A and B are shown apart, each in its own frame.
Chain A
Amino acid sequence: MKRRMAKDTLTGWSMKAAVLFANLLVFLVALGLLYKARPILASKSLGHLLTSSSWHPLKGEFGFYPFIVGTVEATLLSMVLAVPMCLLAAIYLAEYAPRRLRESAHIVIDLMAGIPSVIYGLFGIIVVVPIVREIGLALGKQNTGYTLLSGGVILAIMVAPVIISVTMEVLRSVPAEARETALALGITRWAAIKHVVLRHSMHGVLSAIVLGFARAFGETIAVMMVIGNVARIPRSVFDPAYPLPALIANNYGEMMSVPLYDSALMLAALILLLVVGGFHLVAHVILYRIEKRW
């Protein structure tokens, strides 16, 4: 009996230690990156680093502005493309679709979420890039196809499973009574969705979009395969761009030989962590509230 109790206590404590580790991990990652980013933060002010457009590592100039603009624009573009379509698809699946279709859609969405980034990137190179180039040329824009728009399209496809699945869950958590009360007034299903269901689940839908945004913001490989990677602020969607994650991924080879270079890249990783982590924090707190888990 004593041995059983001792075993239980011992494992109990080690399991709690593992929980503590999980909670500390977020801070550990942030602190580790901050530690490596300190040299560059010591040499230049953060404000200067974030707003300067001059990226010349050999001269010791590390202006993140074009990369930040590249990330934000590619992400926003993907949101513009993905959000309306994903919301409509999710509403259909949650409100209109027969059960069989909804279940098979779940499988398709899981599958999409599980496809590796490189494969999305390859798809971008084979299909999206040539189409974008033709469209650009038709509109009189000289371009290679490796552009902001291609990046946006690929990101839009990649965030679709996130937005659709979260939105579906949120919509399905709206109580049936809310729908029935509205329908009992003799309005169409769509009107009930528009006026009752969506109003009920606005916060949740917003969280779904935020989660999609965060996913796109941090995506690396697929985007850098199609977006061109030129460190200049794009003037149109047919110009190449250079997002932050791609900056980190592309330069790891040289970073050890140039002073402050590694520090600058770690700072970029820290920025990504803070932005994406912040978005996730907000979105999940809202979603927990909806599930009444707080």
Chain B
Amino acid sequence: MPHISIQNLNVFYGKQPALRDITVDIPDHKITAIIGPSGCGKTTLLKSLNRLTDLYDEVGTNGQVLIDGDDINGPKANVLELRKKLGYLSQRPFPLPMSIYDNITFGPRIHRMKRLKSLSRLGDFIRLHQVENFDLEQALEEGARKKKGASDLLVEFYLRLAGLWDEVKDRLGAPASRLSIGQQQRLALARTLAVEPEIILADEPTSALDPLSATLIERQFQALKQNYSIIIVTHILRQARRIADYVLFMYLGELVEYGPAEEIFHAPKDPRTKAYLSGEIS
């Protein structure tokens, strides 16, 4: 059973349908790209997975989204758990109005995560990941000597995981708003990972970034897919070709075609997909 299974999902803005009868399973530990012309419902689909659509009282939903077998809109669903499980990266990175350091610890603190306090638990957790140029044992030793060792190490770990550590390690107390926009997006990634999601939802995460930062983010995604399932909305076809393992093509609120990236890009079946890929509609 895949993490995410969407069955007959319909979403409305008022009476206007935004998503029509979407049914699809999202494969685990892959990068799934949702592509399609703007206004086709890509972002709406993404936001109905972690129920951000709840924030807008004019949005109505029916159909099922099963995450690990549970209907996220069901009566027993816990929206806080759900959102913790599904990390989210927005189009424009908004740092929380606090320091770089606090941006990372915000989620763990809210969820009272034990790893924020206990070095040994944190160490066990970090061992599950591969981080380049990072001597964990030495960091643990150093952390044991400090008062806030665990939380310091947690911040360092996630900043390294998002590829931002070297750029900010000397100014962790500075307001996050002073970072460049590319750095802010990597900070957003670190902040998202810090609540230990299993799935990452990314809404055109590179569209506001310069090409260099965009490449950095793409590279992080490639590295992260061993541990996470990633869904990325993108309107840049080349980006989808570069990083996607699996592709959903949407048009006017409908899911037109989906499948492994190879198939969609090289042998699309639906004429609308063909037209989009060849640039006739955009």
Partner-B contacts on A (CB < 8 A): 1, 4-5
How many B residues have CB within 8 A of the partner chain? 4
Distance A1 CA – B81 CA, assembled complex (angstroms): 8
Distance A39 CA – B130 CA, assembled complex (angstroms): 84
Partner-A contacts on B (CB < 8 A): 78, 80-81, 110
Question: Which residues of chain B are within 8 angstroms of A4 by Cβ–Cβ distance?
Answer: 80, 110
Question: Which residues of chain A are within 8 angstroms of B78 by Cβ–Cβ distance?
Answer: 1
Question: Which residues of chain A are within 8 angstroms of B110 by Cβ–Cβ distance?
Answer: 4
Shortest B216–chain A CB gap in Å is 35
Dominant SS at the B interface? helix
Distance A5 CA – B78 CA, assembled complex (angstroms): 10
Instruction: Give 6 CB contacts A-B under 8 Å.
Output: A1-B78, A1-B80, A1-B81, A4-B80, A4-B110, A5-B80
Distance A62 CA – B81 CA, assembled complex (angstroms): 68
Shortest B106–chain A CB gap in Å is 14
Shortest B67–chain A CB gap in Å is 17
Question: Which residues of chain B are within 8 angstroms of A5 by Cβ–Cβ distance?
Answer: 80
Shortest B202–chain A CB gap in Å is 26
A3 and chain B: residue at smallest CB distance: B112
Distance A1 CA – B110 CA, assembled complex (angstroms): 10
Question: Which residues of chain B are within 8 angstroms of A1 by Cβ–Cβ distance?
Answer: 78, 80-81
Shortest B37–chain A CB gap in Å is 28
B110 and chain A: residue at smallest CB distance: A4
A4 and chain B: residue at smallest CB distance: B80
Distance A230 CA – B92 CA, assembled complex (angstroms): 66
A1 and chain B: residue at smallest CB distance: B80
Shortest A113–chain B CB gap in Å is 30
Distance A1 CA – B113 CA, assembled complex (angstroms): 11
Shortest A193–chain B CB gap in Å is 37
Shortest A173–chain B CB gap in Å is 24
Distance A28 CA – B110 CA, assembled complex (angstroms): 40
Distance A88 CA – B45 CA, assembled complex (angstroms): 52
B80 and chain A: residue at smallest CB distance: A1
Distance A4 CA – B83 CA, assembled complex (angstroms): 15
Shortest A53–chain B CB gap in Å is 55
